[in-house]
A = this chain, B = another copy of it.
Amino acid sequence: MVTMAGPLTLQAIEPYLAQVNDLFARELTSDLDHVQKMSHHVERFRGKMLRPVLVFLSGLAAARRNDHPLGQTHITIATVVEMVHVATLVHDDVLDNAEIRRRGVTVNHLHGNEAAVLLGDLLISHAYHLCSSLESQIASRAIGRTTNIVCEGELTQNFNRGNWELTEKTYFDIIYRKTASLIETSCRLGAWASNADAATVEALGNYGRDVGMAFQIVDDILDIAGEQKTVGKTLGSDIEKGKLTLPMIHFLATAAPTHKQLLISLLESDASDRIDNARQLLIPSPSMRYARSRAQQLVDQAISAISDLPESEFQHILIDMARFVTARES
């Protein structure tokens, strides 16, 4: 289940990640058979466990003692942020009327839209329930505030589908809210649970925010320029859904008028080859390089945010992880 692919050594936290998997399953246990079966569907949404990894690494990097610095609070928080993340993936899977009409009867993941909505709701409910098992309200407040922001990000993204005038500023606001805010909170709460001082919590939070932004930019780049086989999910989904991402925004702002018009007409087209054609137009353009450079800036900023922490093995892993965000191909 675990694992950031790449050159990272995460052995130190593997036992904790195993505990997250246990707690995740235990929290979702139901006396109802069909609910239990439904919960198993969640497995297909599980992935790299990036957020739990960051809770633990932040907790370790922030800890002032080195013996057993992680406790049950870290495990609970790590499980909560993973549940919140999986819930957002499940709800992302709910299809809009238009898409259902376009894709026709073949679309029926799980048992239809209703079941996907309910499964996401079940996950988010258990996330809050689990979080409320902690002694203090601090984490519950942080999680509630964060999910408010995540929802606003998703609403803003949805609101701007088909808006070819979307600005870079709004794009950055969307990816902060929908992706980076939860990663920021993962790092902050990991540090908080290690009783870190305010400056350390802040530093790790800033690291998480910038890594999260870079992570989403790279995700958006891979959706255009990735190798289908390596990425492992359908590419071009942003193009299909009319969601402008950084390379497209830059392209529309800088390309020659005929190229700009061509991209818009592909985005608005119903033709089956429109996605491939849009990708072929974008891939060789300087806009891809531009997006990569913005991601790299954020990675540098993330690394710099934690450069003043006491040096430790875990600080080094966090730095490697940040670098890996821009290097990854899946």
Tell me if A255 counts as interface (CB < 8 A to partner B).
Answer: no
| Any B CB within 8 A of the CB of A202 | no
B132 adjacent to A141 (CB under 8 Å): yes
- Among A44-52, A65-73, A93-101, A212-220, the one that faces the other chain is A93-101
- Report Cα–Cα, A118/B279, bound state, in Å: 29
Pick from B98, B120, B144: contact of A128, CB under 8 Å? B144
Closest chain B residue, CB of each to CB of A84: B125
A38 to B157, CA, bound (A): 13
Contact of A141 among B95, B129, B145 (CB under 8 A): B129
Interface size class of A (residues with CB under 8 A): 35 or more
Given contacts A100-B100, A121-B147, 14 further A-B contacts (CB under 8 A): A30-B152, A32-B152, A32-B155, A32-B156, A35-B155, A91-B117, A94-B114, A96-B113, A117-B117, A125-B147, A125-B148, A125-B150, A128-B140, A131-B140
Cβ contact within 8 Å between A148 and B124: no
Which residues of A are interface residues toward B (Cβ below 8 A)?
30, 32, 34-35, 38, 91, 94-98, 100-101, 105, 107-108, 111-115, 117-122, 124-126, 128-137, 140-141, 143-145, 147-148, 150-152, 154-156, 158-159
Q: How many copies does the complex hold?
A: 2
Tell me, in angstroms, the Cα distance from A129 to B139 when the chains sit together. 11
What chain B residues lie within 8 Å of A97 (beta carbons)?
95, 100, 105, 107-108, 112-113
Q: Are A34 and B117 interface neighbours, CB within 8 A?
A: no
Min CB distance, A329 to chain B, in Å?
A: 29
A178 to B149 alpha-carbon distance, docked (Å): 27
Residues of chain B with a CB closer than 8 A to A137's CB? 132-137, 140
A197 vs chain B, min Cβ distance (A): 23
Residues of B near A91 (CB, < 8 A) are: 117-118, 121
- Docked-complex contact A151 and B125, CB < 8 angstroms: yes
Residues of B within 8 A of A155 (CB): 32, 34-35, 38, 115, 118-119, 122
CB-defined contacts of A111 to chain B, threshold 8 Å: 158-159
Q: Bound complex: CA of A96 vs CA of B111, how far in Å?
A: 9
* Inter-chain contact A145/B121, CB cutoff 8 Å: no
Determine how close the nearest CB of chain B comes to the CB of A192; give it in whole angstroms: 15
Chain B contacts of A144 at CB under 8 A? Answer: 125-126, 128-132
Q: Which of B100, B105, B115 contacts A158 (CB 8 A)?
A: B115
Quick check: B115 and A129 within 8 Å, CB to CB?
Answer: no
Cα separation A91 to B148 with both chains bound (whole Å): 17
Q: Once the chains are docked, how many angstroms separate the CA of A30 from the CA of B150?
A: 12
The docked-state distance in angstroms from the alpha carbon of A137 to that of B141 is 11
Q: A132-B141, A158-B118 are in contact. Are A152 and B113 (CB under 8 A)?
A: no
Residues of B within 8 A of A124 (CB): 121, 124-125
- Contacts known (A129-B145, A140-B132, A151-B125); A94 close to B94, Cβ less than 8 A: yes
A sample of 28 cross-chain residue pairs with beta-carbon separation below 8 angstroms, ordered by A number, consists of A32-B152, A34-B156, A35-B156, A38-B155, A94-B94, A94-B114, A94-B117, A95-B113, A95-B114, A97-B107, A97-B108, A101-B105, A113-B113, A114-B158, A118-B151, A118-B154, A124-B124, A125-B144, A125-B147, A125-B148, A126-B144, A126-B148, A131-B144, A132-B140, A132-B143, A135-B137, A137-B137, A140-B140
